[in-house]
Structures are given as C-alpha cells and as structure tokens.
Amino acid sequence: MVAKRIIPCLDVKGGQVVKGINFEGLREVGDAVEMGVRYSEEGADELVYLDISASKEDRSTFTELVERIALGINIPFTVGGGISSLDDAARLLDRGADKISVNSAAIASPRLISDIADRYGSQFVVCAIDAKCLNGIWRVTTHGGSRLTERELFSWAKEAQERGAGEILFTSMDHDGTKAGYACEQYAMLEEMLSIPVIASGGAGSVADIVDVLTRGRADAALAASIFHYDEISIPALKGALTAAGVPVRAVL
C-alpha cells in the first residue's frame, strides 16, 4: 500500500510564515527557511510554500527565498504564488523547487498547466484549487480566496488533470484555519473521479482529523499548518498515531 504523505504547509508573506482563519487576520509565526529546516529534520515527507500575497499584489514569488530553502532542506518542496508563465516556473525550478503550484493564473489561462507539463512533465505541476461551498456548489476562488469565479471544483479538477497536472491540492475555504476537520466528502469524491493524487488542505485540528481525511476522505496526502506551527503536535508523534490507526506512512528516520 502506498504511504500517505504528511506535508506542512507554509503560507509566506514577505519571507515570514503567516497564519489566519479563512485567509484573513494573518499573523507571523516564524521564518520561512528556519521552519522548513525544522520540519524536514522532524520527518515531514514534503513541504509546500505558498506566497499567499503574490497574486493579489501582482508580484512574482521570491526566487531568492526558494534558493535558500533548497539549500537548507533535503526533502521535496512545492512553491506556489504569482506563477503566471512558463518563465516563472522555470526560474523557480532552476532555483531548486521540486514542484510548481499554479492557481489563479491557471484559472485565467488554463493552458499554463499544459505548457509547464509539456516542458517539464506532469510530476512538476500541482494545480492548487481554493474553493468554497455556496448554495450547495463548490465555487473556485482566486487571488488568495478574495475573488469568486464561475468555475466549479470538480469540473475544474478534472480539466486540470486532463491538461497535465500531476496532483491536485484542494483547500476548502470554509474549513481553512478553523481546526474543525477537513472537507472529507469532497476529497473522497475527487479521489473517485481522478487518477492523480489529491492533497487535502484546510481544517486540520487534531490527529483524528488527519486520520479521517486519509481514510474516509481517501486523500493521498494531508497538509496542515497551525497544528505544526504552534507545536500542538509533532510530526513524529503524528506519524506514530497514524501508524497505530493503520494508516501507512513513511517512517521517521
């Protein structure tokens, strides 16, 4: 059985890791590089760095920060935020990023997914989807959740896969930062309809929540932020609890 991945998610603004609720009320929680090194040493399987203000402020993701992260850690990491062209992706991959996450720009120009996948391969492309449930429909948002689109979660995820995305990273805006659990029903539906891995993001508040999304939600990986950033649970302790619950994970070395 394929091991499930545990992926700390570091939302970055101005080189600092920040956290809020539903992407609002952000506060700094630490240095992006230092926190990445710590998580790597603790046994995280991968990291995701999202420059959450890049698209909203029309800036490119800091390539210098990516280079420093690559020098400091020895596990794969994904970078997203402000990636709007093949050149943007190339610059970040050249600086050491293992994968590129596209979101707002891919909604505006879906061909961006195909362009990156055709040049580098699907394994380098993660399609990040931020969505919220309105009147029973999961509507996709862009620009850090500040703009509502006409796109629908499941149809967009399917199209992203067809265009060459190697993974889907879905964040429920309704659950993000609430610590009330993941949108497990939606992850299970995505897993049923897609052939590529699905990464769950938004709502982790306990070990039980992560067990739930990796079993009932059938997600391939679980992202979490607050519970790691505020030392509510360590990665070794989490992996131990997952193993005890029968969830296959990579051992902490």
Q: Which domains does the chain have, with CATH numbers?
A: 5-244 (3.20.20.70)
Q: Which residue has the higher pLDDT, 18 or 99?
A: 99
Grade residue 61 by pLDDT with cuts at 50, 70 and 90.
low
Place of tokens 């609430």: 178
Which ranges of the chain does DSSP label H, i.e. alpha helix? 32-42, 63-72, 86-94, 104-108, 111-120, 153-163, 184-193, 207-215, 226-229, 235-244
40 HSE (CA, 13 A, CB side): 17
Q: Which of 175, 170, 244 is nearest to 207 (CA)?
A: 244
Task: Compute CA distances 111 → 84, 106, 118, whole Å.
Answer: 11, 7, 10
Q: Which active-site residues does the annotation give?
A: 11, 130
Q: How far apart are CA 101 and CA 199, in angstroms?
A: 12
In whole numbers, what is the pLDDT of the chain averaged over residues? Answer: 91
pLDDT tens digits along 18-60: 876 555 567 777 899 999 999 999 999 999 998 876 655 445 5
Amino acid at position 52, single letter: I
pLDDT tens digits along 161-183: 999 999 999 999 998 878 899 99
Q: What is the pLDDT of residue 60?
A: 53
Q: Which residue has the higher pLDDT, 228 or 22?
A: 228
Provide, rounded to the nearest whole percent, the portion of the chain with pLDDT above 70: 93
Sign of CA dihedral 225, 178, 239, 230: positive
Which residues, including other chains, have CB under 8 Å from residue 97's CB and lie 6 or more apart? 66, 70, 77, 78, 79
Q: What is the pLDDT of residue 50?
A: 84
DSSP class of 143? T
- The residue-averaged pLDDT of 232-242 equals 95
Q: What is the pLDDT of residue 132?
A: 95
Which residues, including other chains, have CB under 8 Å from residue 208's CB and lie 6 or more apart? none
* CA-based radius of gyration for the chain: 16
